[in-house]
Amino acid sequence: MSIIVEQVTRRFTSGGSPAVSEVSFQAPRGAITSLLGPSGAGKSTLLRLIAGLEVPDAGRILIDGVDCTSMPVQKRGVGVVFQSYALFRHMTVRENIAFGLDVRGSPRAETDARVDEMLRLVQLEALGGRYPGQLSGGQRQRVAFARALAIRPRVLLLDEPFGALDTRVREELREWLHSLHERTGLTTLLVTHDQQEALEISQHVVVMSEGRVAQAGSPEVIYNRP
Ligand code: ADP
Ligand code: ADP
């Protein structure tokens, strides 16, 4: 198991119910796991806890067997893609993809080679010199994936990565993510409220409801329940 979440709780208000309440689940190595559930179920909070953008009030988070519960974001080896492309508008596509490597002090020649590799991986070789404002929504989101993958993460965390796109582009990118995953084999956690998306794309599904895990299993097991 590559991501292990044990009894994790995160409470934002002292009186109310926790956003995430005693959640335990495991995401198998090399698979796409969907975190599925309605708005407000606690999916984004859980993803942010795994990414290190939130700190749990209780519980443990392990990535590849290492306890990351109180480890800073940069040390966790996670690549994150959010719904609204968090690209830097004043930076070119190349500079955006290089960002995480620059922050980590990667030598220029290595960074350049890695950016070239990432541009090929997301099939945007010709657009490295453009600015985000000169790209389509689907292209921007592929840049966000390239930036997340450039740092060679151990796990990829995706929070409704296609949620801001129109239906046709969303379906295209879903297939694209499928082929990207086949090429990288990276352990992936996908937050979605879309059952169809979870069914089509993932090998493992964790269903959340009101801050808790309601069900977990293969898509076949989840959807064929009586
Ligand atoms: P989902 O991603 O499933 O839509 P969220 O994790 O975004 O659910 O939210 C779960 C609950 O926690 C919601 O009630 C939300 O309003 C609350 N919540 C999330 N983030 C915060 C925050 N930073 N401060 C206060 N409440 C929050
Ligand atoms: P998502 O589309 O992932 O559900 P939201 O729009 O719910 O995202 O939340 C966006 C940001 O606002 C997140 O950082 C989340 O933690 C924060 N947030 C969500 N709900 C609340 C809330 N009730 N109070 C304060 N911050 C919140």
Query: In the structure, what pLDDT confidence band is assigned to residue 106 with cuts at 50, 70 and 90?
Result: very high
Give the CA-trace dihedral at 200, 65, 102, 158, to 10 degrees.
20
pLDDT at 18: 95
Q: Which of 8, 9, 12, 57 has most ligand 1 atoms within 8 Å of its beta carbon, as the pocket-test mutant?
A: 12
Is the pLDDT at 1 greater than 70, yes or no? no
CA distances (Å), 106 to each of 98, 109, 112, 150, in order? Answer: 9, 9, 10, 11
**Ligand 2: which residues within 6 Å by Cβ?**
44, 83, 159
How far does the centroid of ligand 1 lie from the alpha carbon of residue 37, in Å?
A: 13
How far is the first Cα of the chain from the last one, in angstroms, to the nearest whole number? 29
Strands of the 66-67 sheet, one edge to the other: 20-27, 3-10, 58-63, 66-67
Complex ipTM more than 0.85, yes or no: no
Substitution candidate for ligand 1 out of 45, 46, 208, 212 with most atoms within 8 A of CB: 45
* Whole-structure pTM value: 0.89
Per residue in 14-30, pLDDT (tens digit) is 888 999 999 999 999 99
> Of all atoms in ligand 2, which is nearest to the CA of residue 159?
3
